[in-house]
Amino acid sequence: MGKYKNIVVLTGAGISAESGIKTYRAKDGLWEKYKLEDVATLDGYKRDPELVLDFYNQRRKDFCHGGSKPNAAHYALAELERQFDGEFLLVTQNIDNLHEQAGSKNVIHMHGELLKARCAKTNQIIPWKADLTSNDVCTCCQYPLPLRPHIVWFGEMPIGLDMIYHQLAQADLFISIGTSGTVYPAAGFVEEAHSVGAETVEVNLELSDLHSHFDSVLQGKASEQVPALVK
């Protein structure tokens, strides 16, 4: 990694799969059991807030009590960040905090975080590990407003895009790990990196929708491929 000056890494659900967290589009994935429109859109939340809150409460409980721990891929990225002397940005589409548990510091959760809630009006974010109900209100507004999951739903603006595009514009290496390349704007990052001449690498169990856009594709488990790639 010594020849690079500015690395951007994007991770998706596949990096947490070996830590026991369901991915979205696998056979037993989340979108097989729930309609995305019902549980991962603002309209779905307005239509049936209890259904959406239950969906995230269950995932939060599964995550907190399921004993999920970072795997070798998470630790390898944290080590890379620690010893890399150039600029390093880790962007994750994941809402778990396994990157932080593994020691990663500079992480952008572009699709939000499962263990946080947000004020619907001020966007103030607070840590939240318990069940979230429609009776839970923010403490920041004059007229208490319901707290909502700190999750970016479909149709909502992802978090940190300015910083992400700023770093992509200077990157000389872009690594995508464990993502199907289905969801935008994240799926467009490889083209952004290409446009500035960065080297692009995909690590994925199967060939993603975007594999042909990458200079190299390492097909296999993240816990095996990532430590080998970044050492």
The annotation status of 24 as a binding-site residue, yes or no, is: yes
Q: How far is CA 60 from CA 56, 68, 109, in A?
A: 6, 11, 16
Is the separation of the CB atoms in 61 and 55 below 8 Å? no
Catalytic hit among 74, 99, 109, 111: 111
Active site residue 111: yes
Is the separation of the CB atoms in 21 and 135 below 8 Å? no
Task: Name the minimum Å distance from CB 223 to ligand BV8.
Answer: 7
Name the residue nearer to ligand BV8 (CB basis): 5 or 20.
20
Residues in contact with ligand BV8 by the rule CB under 6 A: 12-14, 17-18, 23-26, 29, 40, 93-95, 111, 151-158, 178-180, 182-185, 204-206, 208, 221-222
The annotation status of 34 as a binding-site residue, yes or no, is: no
The annotation status of 64 as a binding-site residue, yes or no, is: no
Name the residue nearer to ligand BV8 (CB basis): 7 or 164.
164
Quickly list DSSP for 39-79.
HSBHHHHHH-HHHHHHHHHHHHHHHHHTT----HHHHHHHH
Nearest Cα to 12, choosing from 167, 210, 171, 215? 210
The annotation status of 18 as a binding-site residue, yes or no, is: yes
Task: Name the minimum Å distance from CB 61 to ligand BV8.
Answer: 14
The annotation status of 31 as a binding-site residue, yes or no, is: yes
The C-alpha atoms of residue 150 and residue 123 are separated, in whole angstroms, by 9
Task: Name the minimum Å distance from CB 222 to ligand BV8.
Answer: 4
Between β-strands 112-119 and 147-151, what pairing exists: parallel, antiparallel or unpaired? antiparallel
CA angle 71, 113, 16 (to 5 degrees): 20
Nearest Cα to 87, choosing from 8, 3, 174, 202? 8
- Tokens 């042909």 locate to 212
Name the residue nearer to ligand BV8 (CB basis): 40 or 53.
40
Which residue sits closest to ligand BV8, CB atoms considered?
14
Task: Name the minimum Å distance from CB 26 to ligand BV8.
Answer: 6
Name the residue nearer to ligand BV8 (CB basis): 131 or 206.
206
Could you list the residues known to form a binding site for NAD(+), using ranges. Answer: 12-31, 93-96, 178-180, 222
Residues labelled as active-site residues: 111
